[in-house]
Chains A and B, each alone.
Chain A
Amino acid sequence: MFVELIEYIGGLVEDVLEGIGRVIVLFYSVMKGIFKPPLEIRNTVRQMLEIGVNSLPVVLITAVFTGMVLALQSYTGFKRFGAEGLVGSVVALSMTRELGPVLAALIVTGRAGASMAAELGTMRVTEQIDALETMATNPVKYLVIPRFLSGMTMLPALTIVTDIVGISGGYFVTVVLLGASSKTYMRTTWDFLEVADIYNGLIKACFFGAAFSLISCYKGFYTRGGAEGVGRATTGAVVYSSMTILISDYFLSAWLFK
């Protein structure tokens, strides 16, 4: 029993380390091909639309309700010690520094990351990726780089939207529903918010975008074993991307927001 447990953990560690190594190798080929013509502009734009525009509704809903519940909870909680005037800054700082980038990243991973892994995985098991190669087309350049670039650029864009919508949601609950002063909310929002909060949040989003797209593409690109393999790749893409986002979030925050 004990030996089996150790073996299981050992196998898991081995898989994770192998995965990290191969993601780094894929990242290297992405970097090698990224500025080499032909630039896959059409494919990149299509992916940007897919990730950015199509994720917008679900990101909007998540952002507005997160801002709302954040305001509601901090208003009722802070009221106990008479600090309800600070709700604006709580919402603004939480959204820009933390929740905006992380929530947008997790939602886009669930939507776009899963679909990247499933699409590339299906292309792998039906030999479409091999077919690309036989037609003298580098599949990393044709498939992975456009997704990587879109992830890296569209996630910060969605984060900006999340920040604005979240803060607006907070405003709506605090001022309209709970009847607090609009002036106080606006003042505490702006007084304690620094530009660095916003752009450091966007740096995090950029990193998360690169991470989830690379991991999801990796999972899809190296799929094996038919339909079941595609299912495994999709699950793996979401699980490992989410883990990477949440773990790296701590270290990025510790580094960026000293």
Chain B
Amino acid sequence: MIELIDIHKSFQGNYVLRGVDLEIKKGESLVVIGGSGSGKSVLLKHIIGLLRPDKGTVMIDSTDISTLNEDGLSEMRKKFGMLFQSAALFDSMRVWENVGFGLKRHTRMPDPDIKDIAVQKLRMVGLVDVQDLMPSELSGGMRKRVGLARAIAMEPEVLLYDEPTTGLDPIMADAINDLIIKMRETLNVTSVAITHDMKSAFKIADTIAMLYNGKIIAKGSSEEIEHSSDPYVRQFVEGSATGPIVLEGVTR
């Protein structure tokens, strides 16, 4: 379904991705793990065409997205829903307008119907009676849930999660993990998440890939990664400050 082939990307001479190859099958739940600043977000933004690779190809349903024009890219994006790290809610709009944004833009549905659907999607993520609030009135966990409701409003085939549990307390983080699993079971979507929260990764993934130094250095099922003998993977999974992974700018 999604295929990244030899993706290179640099920002002002700073190489972030140095040849990433990654395949995501339909219905799979893939989690990409990696340290802060390892380029996980950059990787995710390539999948949905927010960033264009310097070199390499992104294939969605066997179409090279660099060959698409603006309208083609827009159509392709309708297959995706994305949950941003800080939810990226439009702060000038009410919660239901946020959730119904895609419907408002891409269908001829009247506002009351859009609101009904928004309320229903909000209920799916466990929120009731928030539809008329402004995003600034919500807590961090609620914002993420609204972001998730917005991501699923157009019934996408693929859900992308940018650090879904970062910045939440452990209980809220686990509730978000449960939601991600629920979304997958009820909506039958393919999901791609990036995270450095190993607990979350093991809970939601059936496949885990590790990004280090601009490349995918390991990929396998959750169990394989958990019991991997690769020293890099071991260090990351165990969360140890000592090991082969060098912390940038830190000397020991």
Q: Which 10 A-B pairs have the closest CB atoms?
A: A127-B88, A131-B88, A136-B74, A134-B82, A136-B77, A127-B84, A135-B102, A128-B88, A136-B78, A130-B50
Q: Could you tell me the distance between the alpha carbons of A126 and B162 in the complex, rounded to whole angstroms?
A: 13
Please give the residue numbers on chain A whose beta carbons come within 8 Å of chain B beta carbons, in ascending order: 38, 123, 126-128, 130-131, 133-138
Q: Is the CB of B86 within 8 A of A134?
A: no
Known interface pairs A133-B48, A133-B77, A136-B106; 20 further A-B residue pairs with C-beta atoms within 8 A, sorted by A's residue number? A38-B105, A123-B90, A127-B85, A127-B88, A128-B88, A128-B89, A130-B45, A130-B84, A130-B88, A131-B88, A131-B89, A134-B50, A134-B81, A135-B77, A135-B102, A135-B154, A136-B77, A136-B78, A137-B101, A138-B74
**Which residues of B are found within 8 Å of A38, using beta-carbon distances?**
105
Cβ of B113 within 8 Å of any chain A Cβ, yes or no, is no
Q: Could you tell me the distance between the alpha carbons of A130 and B50 in the complex, rounded to whole angstroms?
A: 7
Q: Could you tell me the distance between the alpha carbons of A182 and B62 in the complex, rounded to whole angstroms?
A: 80
Choose from B75, B91, B150 the contact partner of A136 (Cβ within 8 Å): B75
**Which residues of B are found within 8 Å of A130, using beta-carbon distances?**
45, 50, 84, 88
How distant is A128 from chain B, measured CB to nearest CB, in Å? 5
Interface string of B44-78 (1 = CB under 8 A from A): 01001110000000000000000000100011011
Number of inter-chain CB pairs below 8 Å: 50
**Which residues of B are found within 8 Å of A134, using beta-carbon distances?**
48, 50, 77, 80-82
Choose from A127, A133, A135, A138 the contact partner of B101 (Cβ within 8 Å): A135
Q: Could you tell me the distance between the alpha carbons of A137 and B81 in the complex, rounded to whole angstroms?
A: 13
How distant is A220 from chain B, measured CB to nearest CB, in Å? 14
Q: Is the CB of A126 within 8 A of B80?
A: no
Q: Could you tell me the distance between the alpha carbons of A134 and B74 in the complex, rounded to whole angstroms?
A: 8
Interface string of B82-111 (1 = CB under 8 A from A): 101110111100000000011001100000
**Which residues of B are found within 8 Å of A126, using beta-carbon distances?**
86, 88, 91
Q: Could you tell me the distance between the alpha carbons of A35 and B184 in the complex, rounded to whole angstroms?
A: 40
| Interface range, B side | 20 to 34
Q: Is the CB of A137 within 8 A of B88?
A: no
Q: Could you tell me the distance between the alpha carbons of A226 and B120 in the complex, rounded to whole angstroms?
A: 34
Q: Could you tell me the distance between the alpha carbons of A127 and B86 in the complex, rounded to whole angstroms?
A: 8
**Which residues of A are found within 8 Å of B78, using beta-carbon distances?**
136
Q: Is the CB of B88 within 8 A of A136?
A: no
A32 — nearest CB in chain B belongs to which residue? B70
Q: Could you tell me the distance between the alpha carbons of A128 and B50 in the complex, rounded to whole angstroms?
A: 12
Q: Could you tell me the distance between the alpha carbons of A131 and B83 in the complex, rounded to whole angstroms?
A: 9
**Which residues of A are found within 8 Å of B50, using beta-carbon distances?**
130, 133-134
**Which residues of B are found within 8 Å of A135, using beta-carbon distances?**
77, 101-102, 105, 150, 154
**Which residues of B are found within 8 Å of A133, using beta-carbon distances?**
48-50, 77
State which residues 126-176 of B face A: CB under 8 Å: 150, 154
Most buried by B among A127, A128, A133, A138: A127
A135 — nearest CB in chain B belongs to which residue? B102
**Which residues of A are found within 8 Å of B86, using beta-carbon distances?**
126-127
B102 — nearest CB in chain A belongs to which residue? A135
**Which residues of B are found within 8 Å of A123, using beta-carbon distances?**
90
Q: Could you tell me the distance between the alpha carbons of A136 and B102 in the complex, rounded to whole angstroms?
A: 8
**Which residues of A are found within 8 Å of B81, using beta-carbon distances?**
134
**Which residues of B are found within 8 Å of A127, using beta-carbon distances?**
84-86, 88
Given contacts A136-B75, A136-B77, A138-B70, contact A131 B102 (CB under 8 A): no
How distant is A95 from chain B, measured CB to nearest CB, in Å? 36
Q: Could you tell me the distance between the alpha carbons of A138 and B101 in the complex, rounded to whole angstroms?
A: 13
Q: Is the CB of B105 within 8 A of A137?
A: yes
Q: Could you tell me the distance between the alpha carbons of A130 and B45 in the complex, rounded to whole angstroms?
A: 9
Q: Could you tell me the distance between the alpha carbons of A152 and B85 in the complex, rounded to whole angstroms?
A: 36
B86 — nearest CB in chain A belongs to which residue? A126
A119 — nearest CB in chain B belongs to which residue? B92
